[in-house]
């Protein structure tokens, strides 16, 4: 099973429904890999430029200091009704599928199947405190950062029945984490949910450095202030085992959501505040590549997914732009578990 999709020419996971005849646009709800015309790109740039006058500094500071409050309010209002479970996960990110976790138990190091070298390293190093953590006996560990109410975590737990799997999930919002813990599908024997501020690079995690196989970031990095993104990614990279991977899917530049922002919503270049006070940034591939490589991670995948969504009832077309990345940690030493 190809868990890493190293073949750079291969993009089957983004779908194969191509719009070849514009007259057929309303025949389906969505079209894959839609190429933009030069005129369309220029129109998007103009639209963004028109609405790029940033709010006053004191207003920006208010949105930054009250970010936790806004997200708690969001989840208090919507609970688990806003986002749908992400069943596309295993197509886009086969690293989360059971066959890949089984294969990767030993992919980062040459060890006998069934052994737990992480615990052996802990005992040998004398760092007993770092050995006693939730999921310490697991052989494959996944962390989702910005888990919301569990629309990624619960599909993973339902689909991946690997007995060696343990899933961690965290969110800035304590309200969201409580909703995860109160979900009847939450199993403390396979999952551990906790509150964590990703933007606080100095904060400790309940997991030692060098202990994770996969970190998942789905539409979460874009919620951070751009000035805090680099330190946050660098901190997450420390949690990965050698060979571990960060998987990201997030908003791309000129996505429909960016073009819909009116004047008075811009915080800084390509960074906006929604009506509910939550914030969002729209990335380019190069920006994300720089964030990951500065954290000493190596590119496996960095692709733009351009999709045309269609409202057939209202005869509307909506152009979505998402970026999907996979970056891997190299090296052989594991800080904290070595």
Question: Which residue carries 């339902």 as its tokens?
Answer: 158
Q: Which residue has the higher pLDDT, 293 or 34?
A: 293
Query: What's the chain's average pLDDT?
Result: 79
**Taking residues 18-27, what's their average pLDDT?**
50
Distance CA 251, CA 283 (A): 6
- 37-63 burial, b if ≥16 CB within 10 A, otherwise e? eeeeeeebeeebeebeeebeeeebeeb
Q: What percent of the chain has pLDDT over 70?
A: 72
Query: What's the CA gap between 296 and 89, in Å, rounded?
Result: 25
CA distance linking residue 92 with residue 13, whole number of Å: 5
Place 94 in a pLDDT band, splitting at 50, 70 and 90: confident
**Residue 26: pLDDT above 70?**
no
Decide which of 6 and 80 is more confident.
Answer: 80
pLDDT of 295-338, one tens digit each?
A: 999 999 999 988 776 555 555 557 889 999 999 999 754 444 43
Half-sphere exposure of residue 228: CA atoms within 13 angstroms, side-chain side = 15
Angle between helix 67-78 and helix 174-181 axes, rounded to 10 deg = 40
pLDDT value of residue 221: 96
A 10 A CB-CB count for 22 gives 6
HSE-CB of 29 using CA atoms within 13 angstroms:
0
Locate 53 and state its tokens. 């006058």
Structure tokens at 49: 């430029």
Residue keyed to tokens 């690293």: 95
Strand order of the β-sheet with 266-268 is 266-268, 271-273, 279-281
Neighbour order of strands in the sheet with 191-195:
30-31, 297-311, 316-329, 240-251, 212-218, 140-145, 165-171, 191-195
Q: Tell me the pLDDT tens digit for each residue of 127-186.
A: 445 578 999 999 999 999 999 888 899 999 988 889 999 999 999 899 999 999 999 999
pLDDT of 215 reads 97
> Each residue of 255-301: pLDDT tens digit?
989 988 988 899 999 999 988 888 999 999 999 999 999 999 999 99
Q: Is 80 exceeded by the pLDDT of residue 102?
A: no
Token reading at 210? 């060098």
| Banded pLDDT at 63 (limits 50, 70, 90) | confident
Confidence of residue 124 (pLDDT cuts 50, 70, 90): very low
Q: Return d(Cα 225, Cα 221) in angstroms, integer.
A: 9
Output the pLDDT for position 65. Answer: 80
Cα–Cα distances in Å, from 121 out to 115, 129, 130, 337?
A: 12, 12, 10, 5
pLDDT > 90 fraction of the chain, expressed in percent and rounded: 45
pLDDT at site 122: 55
């Amino acid at each position: 099973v190809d868990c890493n999709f190293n073949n750079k020419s291969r993009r089957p996971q983004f779908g194969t429904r191509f719009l070849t005849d514009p007259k057929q646009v309303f025949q389906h709800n969505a079209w894959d890999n839609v190429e933009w015309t030069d005129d369309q790109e220029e129109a998007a740039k103009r639209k963004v430029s028109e609405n790029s006058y940033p709010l006053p500094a004191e207003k920006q500071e208010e949105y930054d200091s009250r970010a936790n409050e806004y997200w708690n309010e969001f989840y208090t209002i919507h609970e688990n009704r806003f986002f749908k479970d992400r069943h596309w996960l295993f197509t886009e990110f086969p690293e989360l599928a059971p066959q890949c976790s089984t294969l990767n138990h030993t992919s980062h190091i040459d060890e006998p199947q069934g052994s737990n070298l992480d615990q052996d390293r802990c005992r040998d190093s004398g760092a007993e405190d770092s050995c006693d953590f939730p999921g310490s006996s697991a052989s494959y560990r996944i962390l989702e950062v910005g888990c919301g109410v569990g629309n990624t975590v619960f599909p993973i737990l339902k689909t991946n029945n690997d007995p060696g799997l343990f899933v961690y999930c965290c969110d800035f919002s304590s309200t969201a984490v409580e909703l995860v813990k109160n979900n009847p599908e939450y199993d403390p024997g396979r999952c551990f949910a906790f509150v964590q501020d990703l933007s606080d690079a100095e904060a400790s995690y309940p997991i030692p450095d060098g202990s994770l196989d996969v970190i998942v970031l789905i539409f979460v990095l874009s919620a951070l202030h751009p000035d805090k993104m680099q330190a946050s990614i660098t901190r997450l990279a420390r949690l990965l085992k050698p060979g571990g991977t960060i998987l990201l899917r997030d908003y791309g530049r000129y996505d429909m959501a960016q073009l819909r922002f009116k004047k008075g919503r811009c915080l800084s270049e390509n960074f906006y505040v929604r009506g509910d006070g939550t914030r969002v940034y729209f990335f380019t591939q190069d920006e994300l590549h720089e964030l990951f490589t500065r954290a000493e991670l190596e590119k496996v995948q960095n692709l733009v997914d351009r999709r045309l969504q269609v409202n057939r009832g209202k005869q509307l077309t909506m152009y979505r732009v998402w970026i999907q990345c996979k970056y891997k940690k190299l090296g052989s030493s594991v800080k904290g578990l070595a």
